[in-house]
Amino acid sequence: MNRRTLLQATTTVPLALVAGCTSSSDTDDADGNGENDAESQGDVGLTIETGGVELTLADVELALELETDDGERHESNEGEMWVLANVKVANRSEETQDLPRAENFKLVTGGEQYDSAVPSSLAAPVSGEGYDAPTDARQDVSAGGWLAFSIPDATESATLSWAGAGDSEADEDEVARDEASWDLSLDPAELPDVGFLELNLPETVAIGDEIAAEVVLENAGGTEYTVETALEAERPGGSTDTESFEVTVPAEDTASAQHAFTPLMTGSFTVTLGEYSVSKSVEVTPLTAAFGETVAVDGLPQITISDPIVTDSFEADSYYGTETVQADGSFVFFEFEVQNTSRNRLSAPRSSDLDLSANGSVYDTASLDVGISASYVDPIEGGEYGTYGTIGAGETIAGVLRFDVPSSTAPADLELLGEWSNGYASAETSIHWSQ
């Protein structure tokens, strides 16, 4: 995952003393009578008053990721978790005084203390403003908000501690306040624990068929979690595209997400789940169709081919008149039409990209060499099919294909092979027609 931090980086400092202990009873309170205002150590939900300041730990939540109101997501450091503490403070004395500062709250565990990070405002997993408290607060003025600490994700107990005043940062005439602390019991097992389970793909598909990619994730933790991830497709020829998506995985359960890719070229089609660096490949094979059918695939021109006509002669017109041509074997004719119904220029087969396979041999398209402006008139009508390898948006190109084959060739023996470059030298679009 791409990990981002909050406004203040989390640091750790070794402790020389036992953290979370109660304040000394020798410290004078706000009234100067030598007694503490209240117990200086408590649990979640309890209120502590010291030096005229009332502090309440209202709530504690665990999370792996925070989201602020502006949509920014902040993941905990690797191997750590967020501890979110909602602290409320109020001035209960009759004197004006500064309310506790965020930087004086520490989270203590395992012999180390962790500084707080103060988000501007939170949208998830809790909502509310980040901790903020005014200086020169009058009587009964209250404030507070959320503090965030990034600590080791196996931590089961910690102490939230506020240093109080009367330390080196306090003025000599500032009211002395005892340290306040709360013991926290944490349950990391309730955090989400999402991992990769499966990436399911078919072994082979034909051009135009969907590659249905299914991602299965497993959550071994105690809270549902939404994972942001992406599938990257490397198509034959090297082009790539990425599909981003979210998967919400319930606690102690699995969840899946699907996305379909449509291949347009033969070769190896590789799908990678970026979050977990898992890849699988699909072998893309030629599209097969029957003579007389129209092939329509998004991203390719629409192609229509007639049934074959097998004959031993044809007539053609040219500038010099009509001429009859006899075959040494047989002629095979097709009507061939390419139509671009999209808004983009597309690759299209040239006549040289179309071959006829019959009885183990392959034959190139034959040219109509009977004169200037020649076209067929019988047994088929029209000029020769030809393109420059592309077809414009809304354009239709149609013409006749002719192949010279042995006389023993029958329609059932024929397979028309269309294989042309789709803009990449190492991959081709491939369509095979037969009866």
User: Do the two domains 194-285 and 287-434 of this chain adopt the same fold?
Assistant: yes
User: What pLDDT digit, counting tens, does each position of 291-313 carry?
Assistant: 999 999 999 999 999 999 999 99
Helix (H, G, I), strand (E, B) or coil at 307: coil
Whether 285 shows a pLDDT value over 60: the answer reads yes
Distances from the Cα of 349 to the Cαs of 94, 209, 356, 386, in angstroms?
Answer: 89, 20, 14, 8
Structure tokens at 267: 């070769």
Structure tokens at 387: 């393109």
> What is the C-alpha separation between 274 and 241, in angstroms, rounded?
12
Residue 217: pLDDT band (50, 70, 90) is: very high
The ranges assigned to domains in the chain are: 12-188, 194-285, 287-434
Structure tokens at 170: 């306090």
CATH 1.10.1060.10, domain 287-434, yes or no: no
Distances from the Cα of 376 to the Cαs of 371, 373, 399, in angstroms?
Answer: 12, 10, 10
pLDDT at 1: 33
User: What pLDDT digit, counting tens, does each position of 393-430 carry?
Assistant: 999 999 999 999 999 999 999 999 999 987 665 789 99
Percentage of the chain exceeding pLDDT 70? 87
pLDDT at 238: 86
| CATH number for the domain running over 194-285 | 2.60.40.10
Buried b (16+ CB within 10 A) or exposed e, 89-106: bbbbbeeebbbbebeebb
Angle at alpha carbon of residue 266, lines to 265 and 268, rounded to 5°: 110
Alpha carbon 195 to its chain centroid, in Å, reads 15
| CATH number for the domain running over 12-188 | 2.60.40.1240
Angle at alpha carbon of residue 250, lines to 245 and 256, rounded to 5°: 40
Selected residue with higher pLDDT from 82 and 170: 82
